[in-house]
Structures are given as C-alpha cells and as structure tokens.
C-alpha cells in the first residue's frame, strides 16, 4: 500500500496529467473551430502514432527498467 508521500506524488502527477489533457483539448477545439483540423483527423493521427510506438522500445521502458 502506498505511503502518504507516494500518494501525494501520485496525486500531483494526476493533476498535471489532467491539466495537460485540458490544455490539449482546448488546442484541438481551437484548431477545429478554425477549420485546420477535424476530430476524425486528430483521432486518426493519434491512432497512427500509437501503433507506430507499439513497435518500438520506448524511452520510458529503458529509463524505468528493473536494474537488479
């Protein structure tokens, strides 16, 4: 079970992720309003990037691999 410091750190990270999500959503909405990008184009691009990334070793995997 996580201790109090770990819970606080997780909470801070979650709040940062929420903030980034809000910022990204606002940016995409603005691009849609200006006719630069559609929601479907955005979702397709995300899907393509995720599929491509799944084929590669991520920096995070290397950074946090178990170093025993």
pLDDT in tens, 9-53: 999 999 999 999 999 999 999 999 999 999 999 999 999 999 998
Contact between 42 and 36 (Cβ < 8 Å): no
Domain positions in the chain are 4-63
pLDDT for 56 equals: 86
Give the pLDDT score at 32. 96
Helix 4-33 × helix 39-54 angle, to 10°:
130
Phi and psi based region of residue 43 (left: phi greater than 0; alpha: psi -120 to 50; beta: remaining): alpha
Tokens linked to 43: 């979702």
Give me the pLDDT at residue 23, please. Answer: 97
Please state the pTM of the whole predicted model: 0.68
**The tokens of 10 are what?**
């997780």
Which value, in Å, is the radius of gyration of the alpha carbons in the chain? 17
């Amino acid at each position: 079970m996580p201790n109090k410091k770990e819970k606080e750190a997780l909470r801070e990270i979650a709040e940062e992720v929420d903030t980034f999500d809000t910022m990204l959503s606002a940016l995409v909405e603005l691009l849609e309003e200006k006719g630069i990008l559609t929601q479907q184009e955005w979702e397709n691009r995300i899907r393509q990037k995720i599929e491509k990334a799944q084929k590669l070793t991520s920096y995070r995997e290397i950074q946090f691999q178990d170093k025993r």
